Amino acid sequence: MSRKTATDNPSIAPSGTDPDRIDLRSEAGLREWTRKLDVSEAQLQEAIDAVGDRATDVELHLKGSRSTTNQESVAQTPAGNG
């Protein structure tokens, strides 16, 4: 029996990148990760600061920290922060 790992989920990783790392130095990667995870840039940066750049850790952190919908959180983010 084979065990599934985080890298077995190709739908989370933007094409052309390490499948389980988020690279904020790339504008295209940043846009793709914010879209895939449905978060603002500020939310993504905060999550990476909290748990590191592994996509699965970031995704779990973001899902665990949402007590409201993401649209509500984005609406509450001050202008210029995401």
Kindly report the length of the chain: 82
Give per-residue burial for 26-58: e unless 16+ CB within 10 Å, then b. Answer: eeebbebbbeebebbebbbbbbbeebeebbbbb
What's this model's pTM, rounded to 2 decimal places?
0.57
Confidence (pLDDT) at 39: 95
How high is the pLDDT of residue 34? 95
pLDDT reported for residue 71:
64
Residue 17, phi-psi category: left (phi > 0), alpha (psi -120 to 50), beta (remainder): beta
pLDDT value at residue 41: 94
Q: What mean pLDDT comes out for the span 44-56?
A: 94
* Confidence label for 46 from pLDDT (cuts 50, 70 and 90): very high
| Dihedral sign computed on CA atoms, order 14, 66, 5, 21 | positive
